[in-house]
Amino acid sequence: MRNAPKYKIIKKLEAGGMAEVFCAELESIEGFKKRVAIKRVLPHLSQHKEFIAMFLDEARLSLKFNHANVVQTFDIGVADNTYFITMEYVDGLNLKRILEYLQSKGMFMDPLYCAFIANEMCKGLAYAHNLKDVDGRPLGVVHRDVSPPNVLISRQGEVKLVDFGLAKATSQLEHTEPGIIKGKFSYLSPEAAWGREVDHRADIFSAGILFWEMLAGGRKLFLGKTDYDTVMLVREAKVPPITMINRNAPKEFEAILNRALQPDPTRRYQSAAEMGRDITSAMFKLGRAVSNFDIAGFVEEILAKEALAPSKEPDIVDLLIEEELARLTSLDADGNIFSDGSKPISFAEVSGLLDSSGGLEDPRKWILEMDSDKESPHKGLKLGAEGSGWKEVKVHDLGKQKKEIAQSPKSPPAFPVDLKKEERKEKEGSKYAVWFILLFMALIGLGLAYYFLIFQR
């Protein structure tokens, strides 16, 4: 029986409607330590069998990934029936923060930096799309959520994609947890927005959106006043020429965007590798080399200007989380997770989960749901009316319950209070104050008398 690794929580990185992400330190034998990221499913979601089944299936699939442009998954496990994934920790920024920084400063990123990041994204997508099983059969991996939070850029200038396929698991929760966003609507492909079948070309469209937004200084390509309006804009897929927004954007990049953002998948790039090759050729024609070192310098510049506060000391909530995560147990080769030998939920236990094509989720179900309300199309989404591109909905605050535990009530007085005694003390205090005032006035009078006697002679 192998020793299970233990994790020391350093800080919380992100929190969303499905999970929380922590920066942690893996501690093993002989003082071995490694910085990792832990994505933990919110505890109250563990009761959803369909969601957990898909979450575990996608997590196991991610264990097969081994590429420089994809965040590596190390382990899957459970703690008190709450599932988690241990992943590679990327020290740096996600693309969401970079785009927000550009927009807040009203500035544009170097177009060649944008192209470099887009090309690295294409490398990661091309690897995942072409992944095969041990028998050489294509796995048919589609990310489904190529959006700014899922593109990580390290202090060393590395570009890595995270959360492959987890969008399928999240979408399952919409039937029972309407507060959780089905998708990041601004980054859908038109076919997904229409509820049609999607394949790897949907990821290419999303990558094109990110390339456009980087060149546009963080401006959203598809963003309406409401989520419904945003989906309508994606369906229309009208793309303003990037040169109208950024005069420094090369015309070579305009041509790449025109092809990547075609509404019809058959007229789009047919592979991420094809798109990546065109980006590389365009950069070569522009005659200036850009490398990881340039991107690293850009990331460091943003971090320095943000003047990020140093990590605070762990509070009582962090310590409670650490105690819980210390009990994290990895799934073994047989899938056992509990001391009694029981196994995690499998797809066989979930009746009717797979559709006729073998897919896990038919997007037409929720697109039709969105269109179903004839009186008000906004109601079909079952979402707030605020305009949003990328957003997260926090449906559970892990610390809330534990803070209530940590805040102990004030201790009562050791002895009953004698009210009459307290009243006498107040009266005595007032009497002393009057005597002090009279004494002070007498001293002033003596001082004046002395002055007239000495100086008026």
Name, in order, each residue with C-beta under 8 angstroms of 288's C-beta and a sequence gap of 6 or more. 112
Q: Are residues 262 and 385 in the same domain?
A: yes
pLDDT value at position 55? 80
pLDDT value at position 90? 95
Taking Cα atoms as reference points, which of 242, 304, 326, 455 lies closest to residue 22? 326
21-35, 108-122, 227-241, 388-402: which range is least confident on average?
388-402
Query: Which candidate in 75, 145, 278, 318 is catalytic?
Result: 145
Q: Are residues 184 and 273 in the same domain?
A: yes
Q: Are residues 391 and 432 in the same domain?
A: no
Identify any residues that bridge with 82 across adjacent strands, giving them in sequence order. Answer: 79
Q: Are residues 232 and 143 in the same domain?
A: yes
pLDDT value at position 330? 65
Structure tokens at 189: 């492909």
Whether 209 and 151 have beta carbons less than 8 Å apart is answered as no
Domain containing residue 424? 420-457
Mean pLDDT of 112-135: 96
Phi first, then psi: what are they for 3, rounded to 5°? Answer: -75, 130
Residue 410 forms part of a structural domain: no
What whole-number distance in Å separates Cα of residue 385 and Cα of residue 418? 58
Q: Are residues 298 and 391 in the same domain?
A: yes
Taking Cα atoms as reference points, which of 120, 124, 123 lies closest to residue 157? 120
Q: Average pLDDT over the chain, rounded to whole?
A: 76
Residue 36 forms part of a structural domain: yes
Q: Are residues 356 and 427 in the same domain?
A: no
pTM more than 0.75: no
Instruction: Report whether pLDDT(306) > 70.
Output: yes
pLDDT value at position 355? 40
* Number of structural domains in the chain: 2
Name, in order, each residue with C-beta under 8 angstroms of 284's C-beta and a sequence gap of 6 or more. none
Handedness of CA 428, 429, 430, 434 (dihedral sign): positive
**Higher-confidence residue: 104 or 44?**
104
Residue 413 forms part of a structural domain: no
Using pLDDT thresholds of 50, 70 and 90, give the confidence band for residue 313. low
**Higher-confidence residue: 430 or 407?**
430
Mean pLDDT of 280-305: 95
**Higher-confidence residue: 33 or 272?**
272
pLDDT value at position 353? 35
Residue 1 forms part of a structural domain: no
Residue finishing a domain among 377, 405, 433: 405
pLDDT value at position 440? 78
Taking Cα atoms as reference points, which of 179, 190, 252 lies closest to residue 215? 252
CA distances (Å), 256 to each of 39, 114, 295, 364, in order?
35, 13, 21, 29
**Higher-confidence residue: 136 or 51?**
136
Residue 411 forms part of a structural domain: no
DSSP label of 395: -
Residue 162 forms part of a structural domain: yes
- Examine the residue annotation and report whether 133 is marked as an active-site residue of this protein: no
